[in-house]
Structure 1
Amino acid sequence: MDAIKFALPLVFISGLSATSAFASDEPFNTQGFIENSQFSVTLKNVWMLNTSNQNEAAGIGDQKAWAQGALLDYQSGWFGDVIGVDASWYSVAKLYANDDFAGRDLLRDNNGHAEGFNKIGQIYGKLKWGDDAAYARLYAGWKQLYKFGVLSVTHSRAAPSTWQGVSMESGLGNISARAAWVTRFSERDEPEKRHFYTLKSNKRIDHIVTGDVSWRPANNMQITWLAGESDNYLLRQGLEAQFSHPVTEGESLLFRSAWYYNRGLSEWEGARGFTHSAQHIFALAGYQYHDIESGIGWSKTKAKLDGGLGQFYWHMGKNTRGAFNSPADGEGNDYVNDGEQMLYWYGKYSLSPELTLGLFSHYGFGARYQDVSLTQWEYGGFVAWAPKDVAGLSFFAGFGPSYSWKLVNGKPSLTEDKRGFHRSKGVGGGVTMEYKFGLLK
């Protein structure tokens, strides 16, 4: 049955593309709406693993999941160079899952049973005005919002998540601005369309509003201010900057930094993350020499939580996914605990335009729980391959061990003498094979 469900959308939309292609030969002219349509298929095979024993007190063991996804994306042309419609169908089939698969957010969790799923991921109308020098775009419907203000979606699973609402993008010269008003969310591992809720009392949040403004005075420099609010619940602001400075031909210095601030509003319950407010700051300096790039970063978090270990919570409530462009969002651990500082290092080498190898490491220190000092760290490596001979094909694999502290009821597990903590450890990683091709151009 899963195989049938997996194939149906491909057959249906392939028929749609054939019909559109035929229609473009008809005598009537749709002013670019059909003539300039595009239709692409992305086949995505993802396997993920996490062997951490951090939550063994809750009965959670190794987490393994394997899925095959098919992402079907249709983009119309612009009717009269003004209006259009885009749509996407996402189909995910289960290949393998163990008992604790749900932690990988790859397959649908149906009362503990792993399942594939199908859904309309995106469907929205679009309007445009202007040209490259001055433009405005308006979208309404279900759409991916990737690193959009305080919101985002992830592209590392078999299917991405999407938001329902209205969004806008505009630009004038070297300044661009975006804004969005959203009311529902569909997660990356399920077909349901869900409203937003508070973390403790499950009170419905009516909407989230967000936006950002970017200034790009040169190709190698960008500064972005962002802000967002989940209605009467949580307010976030941030400032991001990135800059590269050429030294010689093929040699550059790289800089990135960000500051984020959270403040609970009238409905905030202080139940998770922090009691009243939280801040996170990071800075990174790097060096690029031809095919070699390396960098070192630092971050610090303040997030006081009454009766627990606070964290910088970067989502905007239940059934939301927040944007957080800091290396403190580690591959295995999150280095955003109250008082925690993090040191980060990465290095990568492009053996060829097709093949890149890389290493990374994180070390977190400074967090304290009941006067016990907590430390955590991880390291690992990755390989990325995109052969030029097969356009649209890519491969990525990354693995590494991580070390943190065990949790009991969501809090660090301390030793009986309250002078230390129980160390957790495990290995995490994943493999992704992706192939994207167009059927209608």
Structure 2
Amino acid sequence: MLIHKKSIPLLMLMAGCSFIPPASALDYSTGGFLEDSHLDLTLQNVWMLNTTDQRADQDVGDQNAWAQAMHVNWQSGWLWDSVGLDASWYGVEKLYANDAFYGRDLVRDNNGHAEGFNKVGQLYGKGRWGDKTRHLNLWAGWKEMYKFGTLTSSRSRATPSTWEGISSEAVWDDFTLRGGIVTRFSERDEPEKRRFITLSSQQEIDYIATGDASWSPAKGTKITYVVGEAKDYLLRHGIEANASWPLSDKFNLLTKGVFYYNRGLSDWEGNRAFNDDAKHLYLQLGYQYEGSESGIGWSKTKAPLDNGLGYFYWHFGKNTRGAFNSPADGEGNDYINDGEQMIYLYSQYKFSPEFMAGIYGNYGFGMEYQDVSLKEWEYGGYFLWSPEMIKGFTIFAGAGPSYTWKLTSKSTPSLTEDNRTFHRAKGIGAAVRVEYKFNVF
């Protein structure tokens, strides 16, 4: 794999560390800060394709990109058993990219030119007090925030997205309370660290504050209240719940539900996504039997918007990434339009501890644009293979077609000249991810 020139000093430093005499030989100790540190190396090869013709009228064709990534993750030990420091470096190289590569978010878009990049993705101080069941953790700096309150870090591309800020977690037996404030964001396909800005006026948003409170009385059962606010711009409340109900030694009933409420604040621009507020509800019922799992879900969205088709917007402005734990965030389409209902089906089977495969399908209906009924759907299959003989090695692949409507230059549904129906958009999405993670020391 090719590596950018400015990453060479980091690799030289890593190599040089292997020749440093052990701390005991120098009669030097850092109290476990260095002695108990860990270095992990992850190699990822990711290819993604989307052949949708949804924006064909704007000359946007197939989206095809292929990238090789390397993650170097260092975790320190604990000084005084309470203080530490973690850091992560990410490097990405372009292996292939067509004209519309930017739609896959794998490599950097430098004024229409696809290129690799590297960056220090994480660099944060950490503190801890207490034990496993009752403790307080603190973090400050650049960090992944995966499903943290109403925010998240994407892990589905070549590199994860990260946030700059402070965050904390307090755990007392079955109860967990988390909170954080962030001020900048680094996206998954670029090295830049950016401020948050509003969708239309491009005004800077000072910060995003978020948190959650959860109760987990048993394995597979959890209920969480989440809240987050982009200062003076957008407020979100939500409830997320899931439960596993054992009916026999081998059979479990599965239930899941989420409800999110968005409200625009004083600086909210009601000309994008929705006017003043939006709601999304998702409910699911399923089962587990030995190695098999299946379920059916239903969702409904309300997001009224004047002069357009509204939708539930789950981020908090540009240069942000909001958490949205509903299958209405589909593999190909997003089933979150105003008035839309969605039926979701999935089934998967674990053939062995190493191999799992599944299928899924989404069908969206019930929304209208200028009195024209709209429908969209998709289906597909996937597999995950993690061979036991190669620890840390996994292969994931998935593919399937999707059907929705074409979009105009204003991102509204493209209707036929007689305004009786819409122009159908269709395409195939596919992804392959090969990952190998191993511990250096």
User: Where do residues 186-335 of structure 1 align in structure 2 (5 Å cutoff)?
Assistant: 186-335=186-335
CA contact 1:24–1:35 (8 Å) conserved in 2: no
1:132 aligns with 132
- In the other structure, the counterpart of 2:346 is 346
Distance 1:121 1:16, change over 3 A: farther
TM-score by length of 2: 0.97
Show structure 2 runs of 5+ residues with no match: none
Q: Over the residues paired in the alignment, what is the CA RMSD in angstroms?
A: 1.4
Closer, same or farther: CA 126–258 of 1 in aligned 2, 3 Å: same
Contact 2:63 2:98 in 1 (8 A): yes
**1:384-403 aligned within 5 A:** 384-403=384-403
1:115-156 CA-partner distances (Å, limit 9, x unpaired): 000100000011111112211111110000000001001111
* Letter of the structure 2 residue corresponding to residue 111 of structure 1: N
- The answer to whether the 8 Å contact 1:176/1:215 transfers is yes
Match of 2:430 in 1: 429
Relative to 1, partners in 2 of residues 1:13 and 1:88: Cα closer, same or farther, differing over 3 Å? farther
**1:373 correspondence with 2:386:** no
- Encode CA deviations 1:338-363: one digit per residue, 9 max, x unaligned: 00000000001111110111000000
Give distance in 2, aligned partners of 1:16 and 1:169.
36
What is the alpha-carbon distance in structure 1 between the residues aligned to residue 399 and residue 388 of structure 2?
25
**Rounded Cα–Cα distance in structure 1 between residues aligned with 2:413 and 2:363:** 18
SS of 2:440's partner is strand
In structure 2, what is the equivalent of residue 59 of structure 1?
59
C-alpha displacement at 1:57, in angstroms? Answer: 1.5
Residue deviations 1:293-326 (CA, integer Å, cap 9, x gap): 1000000000001100000000000000000000
2:22 partner SS: helix
Determine the structure 1 residue equivalent to 2:405: 405
The residue identity in structure 1 corresponding to 2:210 is T
1:271 match: secondary structure: coil
Distance 1:206 1:351 in 2: 49
Cα distance in 1, alignment partners of residues 393 and 21 from structure 2: 25
Q: Deviations over 1:43-82 (max 9, x none)?
A: 0000000000001112110000000000000000000101
CA distance in structure 2 between the partners assigned to 1:385 and 1:234 by the alignment: 41
How high is the sequence identity, in percent, across the aligned residues? 57
Compared CA separation, residues 421 and 25, structure 1 to 2 (3 A): farther
| Distance in 2, Cα, partners of 1:433 & 1:357 | 16
Per-residue deviation, 1:17: 4.8
> Hey, what's the Cα distance between the residues in 2 that align with 1:315 and 1:413?
25
Q: Is the 8 A contact 2:23 2:29 kept in 1?
A: no
How many positions carry a matched residue from both structures?
440
* Structure 1 gaps, min length 5: none
User: SS where residue 22 of structure 1 aligns?
Assistant: coil
Name the amino acid aligned to 1:202. Answer: Q
Distance 1:193 1:430 in 2: 27
Match of 1:106 in 2: 106
For 1:172 and 1:201, the matched residues in 2 are separated by 43
Does 1:417 find its partner at 2:387? no
Q: Which runs of 4+ in 1 moved over 6 A?
A: none
SS in 2 for 1:103: helix
Q: Residue type matched to 1:427 in 2?
A: I
